[in-house]
A and B are shown apart, each in its own frame.
Chain A
Amino acid sequence: MISRTERTLNHAVLAVASILVVFPVIWFIFAALSPESSGRIDLTQLTWGNFATAWQAGSFGPAMFASAVITVGAVAGQTVLAILSGYAFGILGVIGQKVIFPIILLGLMISSEVFIIPLYYQFHAIGLTDTWLGLIIIQIGMGVPFGAFWMRATFRAVPPSLVEAAKIDGAHSWRILWQILFPIVRPATFTLVLLSFMWTWNDFFLALVFISDPSKQPATLALGVFQGQHTLNVNLMAAGSLIVALPVLLLYVFFQRHFIQGVISGAIKE
């Protein structure tokens, strides 16, 4: 049993660290709600209109739509590929997996800078730069290492007897996957969906490289432009930032356990 002083100390340590971490975010939220463009906090007149003004001025409408399209496309693709390849590597076994799987895992440790330059010229040649489809394709390909790694580990944790029993019943590999295994691995798949949503939505670098048409840029890129143009309107800048961060923050509020467990146990990526 821990003593009272120990308990107080524990709370003190956690509270100090939490305040240090959260203070800048809170301050920013307050700035977004304040009427003054200097960024001075004034909560006596909550100015919700800042969000509408920022939304207009930064044309966040189209940008959020772009982010949504890219993210949904990428997450759907990544998830399907992760399930199929995780099933293949985790349960079925793959010809040459001793070579193939390590090469896939290699992708967990290298970052986009290494392959982005030739990819840019390749995409440029076939007209995929400045398109959402181009970004979706890149995100899907880049998501393979983590997806395969994550779903393979998940499928391996399923008791083999379940698969064996289904096979004896004459079920096909496709039916075994979707009718027997998928319901079991659904929670882990959901974690994967959340993580790839976050990673795709939060991407800045790929969008910066591949999207130059302002009418096609996703929200993170739009925010980068917006903050450069409105350095003197701190409250708008803060409001714009919160708009861009909101979708992931909302998911984080509801599914924090998935996020934290996912990032920590899959911490190899990034």
Chain B
Amino acid sequence: MSLRTTSVRRPLAVAVRAAPRVRSRRRGWLGLAYAAPAIIAYGYVVIVPLLQSVNFSFYSWNGVTAARWVGISNYVSFFTDPALVESLWHVLVLIAFFSILPIVFGLISAALLGRGRVRGQGVYRWLLFLPQVLTSVVVAVIWKRIYGPDGPLNAALNAVGLGGLAHNWLGDFDWALPSLGLIGTWTALGFCMVLFVAGVTAIPDELYEQARMDGAGPVAEFFAVTLPGLRGQLAIAMTLTVTGALRAFDLVWITTQGGPGTSTTTPALLLYRKAFLNPDVGMAAAIGIVLAIFCLAIALVVNRLSEERDS
């Protein structure tokens, strides 16, 4: 959260100190009245159920008969339940595809592009950003078709004489997960590029001149100036893409539903199944809590790292 709020937080402190005590107290109640609808809606939809989730996660409950207190055994399952452990490994693979690949490609292209303004930049930006506005269902449908046994990917492989490499990509135990991952790469690539290219343009010219005077070549310049200058953008890209991999559901649900076998299950998919299909509600709640803790931890750690090097 403070990824972006750090810049606005400082003026706040000044403003609060400058305001007279008594008046600010009265205005504080007025402010509370204005904020009340939002606080109530948020509390009702998010916070109260969130706390209930914590409570649920200590029970074993099939959604119908009485719930039974089981302590932390739902959390222990993260180490003992093979299906759950497997889904966590899948997340690691997805992180490579959803996060690392697009970030690396984004950085390479930002480095290659340098700081020159390109004519038609707006058009490129529009195109690169397009996957971000498509609903996940449409993305999934497009790629399900591309990966199909008689889809364009195999057709292309056949056409160039590589027919031996053709697969039923999403139906293959070994290929389904990386194929899914590449969909995430495709979605995030343009986003990372747009983000990083915008970041590079914001780096002050003096830093580059300085580096050049110090005799830095393009590679040294990239590591000494560009990469540190993109810290904030990197933090955003990391947080978004890693949590995206952790939460992967829509894509998986529409393309493979976790199959073939269990080769593409994700924690969010298991959560959905355990919560609504064959209820083990306590376990589902525990998965939700663990996912949330991971997301929070990632956001905080990435944010902390990017700020530390800042100072």
Interfacial residues of chain B within 1-57, with CB under 8 A of chain A in the complex = 1, 3-5, 8, 11-12, 15-16, 19, 24-25, 27-35, 37-39, 41-42, 44-50, 52-53, 56
Known contacts A84-B34, A85-B34, A241-B138, A198 near B288 by CB under 8 Å: no
**Inter-chain contact A116/B288, CB cutoff 8 Å:** yes
A47 to chain B, nearest CB (A): 17
**Inter-chain contact A104/B42, CB cutoff 8 Å:** yes
Q: Interface residue tally of chain A, by bracket?
A: 35 or more
**Inter-chain contact A140/B45, CB cutoff 8 Å:** yes
Produce 1/0 per residue, B51-80, CB < 8 A to A: 011001000000100000000000000000
**Inter-chain contact B45/A138, CB cutoff 8 Å:** yes
**Inter-chain contact A265/B112, CB cutoff 8 Å:** no
Known contacts A89-B35, A114-B292, A160-B15, A95 near B138 by CB under 8 Å: no
Which stretch of B83-91, B143-151, B221-229 is in the interface? Answer: B143-151
A264, CB-defined interface residue at 8 Å: yes
Known contacts A110-B296, A156-B11, A237-B141, A248 near B37 by CB under 8 Å: no
Known contacts A153-B5, A241-B138, A268 near B275 by CB under 8 Å: no
List the 7 shortest-distance A-B pairs measured between CB atoms, nearest first. Answer: A141-B45, A92-B31, A118-B52, A202-B135, A85-B38, A115-B49, A88-B34
CA distance A120 to B4 in the complex (A): 32
- Residue of B116, B137, B292 contacting most chain A CB atoms (<10 Å): B137
**Inter-chain contact A110/B49, CB cutoff 8 Å:** no
A113, CB-defined interface residue at 8 Å: yes
Instruction: Name A6's contact: one of B48, B114, B132, B146 (CB within 8 Å).
Output: B114
CA distance A227 to B152 in the complex (A): 17
**Inter-chain contact A156/B189, CB cutoff 8 Å:** no
Which residues of A approach B to under 8 Å, CB–CB?
2, 6-7, 9-11, 13-15, 17-18, 20-22, 24-25, 27-28, 31, 38-39, 77, 80-82, 84-85, 87-89, 92-97, 100, 102-111, 113-122, 137-138, 140-142, 144-145, 147-149, 152-153, 156, 160, 173, 198, 201-205, 208-209, 220, 223-224, 227, 234, 237-238, 241-242, 244-245, 248-249, 252, 256, 259-260, 263-268, 270
Instruction: Name B145's contact: one of A39, A142, A203, A248 (CB within 8 Å).
Output: A39
Produce 1/0 per residue, B115-145, CB < 8 A to A: 0101011101111111111111110011111
Name the residue of chain B whose CB is nearest to the CB of A240: B141
CA distance A121 to B56 in the complex (A): 12
Residues of chain A within 8 A (CB-CB) of B239 are 268
Which residues of B approach A to under 8 Å, CB–CB?
1, 3-5, 8, 11-12, 15-16, 19, 24-25, 27-35, 37-39, 41-42, 44-50, 52-53, 56, 63, 105, 109, 112-114, 116, 118, 120-122, 124-138, 141-146, 150-152, 186, 189-191, 193-195, 198, 236, 239-240, 243-244, 247, 249-250, 253-254, 268, 271-272, 275-276, 281, 284-285, 287-289, 291-292, 295-296, 299
Residues of chain B within 8 A (CB-CB) of A81 are 37-38, 41
Given contacts A94-B31, A110-B50, A245-B135, 17 further A-B contacts (CB under 8 A): A24-B142, A24-B143, A25-B134, A39-B152, A80-B37, A81-B37, A82-B38, A111-B295, A113-B268, A116-B49, A117-B288, A209-B276, A238-B145, A260-B129, A264-B236, A270-B240, A270-B243
CA distance A110 to B1 in the complex (A): 11
Name the residue of chain B whose CB is nearest to the CB of A117: B275
CA distance A202 to B28 in the complex (A): 37
**Inter-chain contact A28/B193, CB cutoff 8 Å:** no
CA distance A119 to B275 in the complex (A): 12
Q: Name the prevailing secondary structure of the B interface residues.
A: helix
CA distance A264 to B196 in the complex (A): 10
Instruction: Name B296's contact: one of A10, A22, A109, A266 (CB within 8 Å).
Output: A109
Instruction: Name A21's contact: one of B37, B52, B130, B151 (CB within 8 Å).
Output: B130
Give 21 pairs: A residue, B residue, CB < 8 Å, sorted on A: A6-B114, A14-B121, A18-B127, A21-B130, A24-B146, A81-B38, A97-B28, A108-B1, A114-B292, A115-B53, A117-B275, A140-B41, A156-B11, A204-B136, A209-B272, A223-B137, A224-B253, A224-B254, A241-B141, A244-B135, A248-B135
B1 to chain A, nearest CB (A): 4
**Inter-chain contact A119/B11, CB cutoff 8 Å:** no
Residues of chain A within 8 A (CB-CB) of B35 are 84-85, 88-89, 94, 100, 148
**Inter-chain contact B133/A259, CB cutoff 8 Å:** yes
**Inter-chain contact A120/B276, CB cutoff 8 Å:** yes
Residues of chain B within 8 A (CB-CB) of A6 are 114, 116
Known contacts A6-B116, A10-B116, A244-B137, A117 near B45 by CB under 8 Å: no
**Inter-chain contact B32/A88, CB cutoff 8 Å:** yes
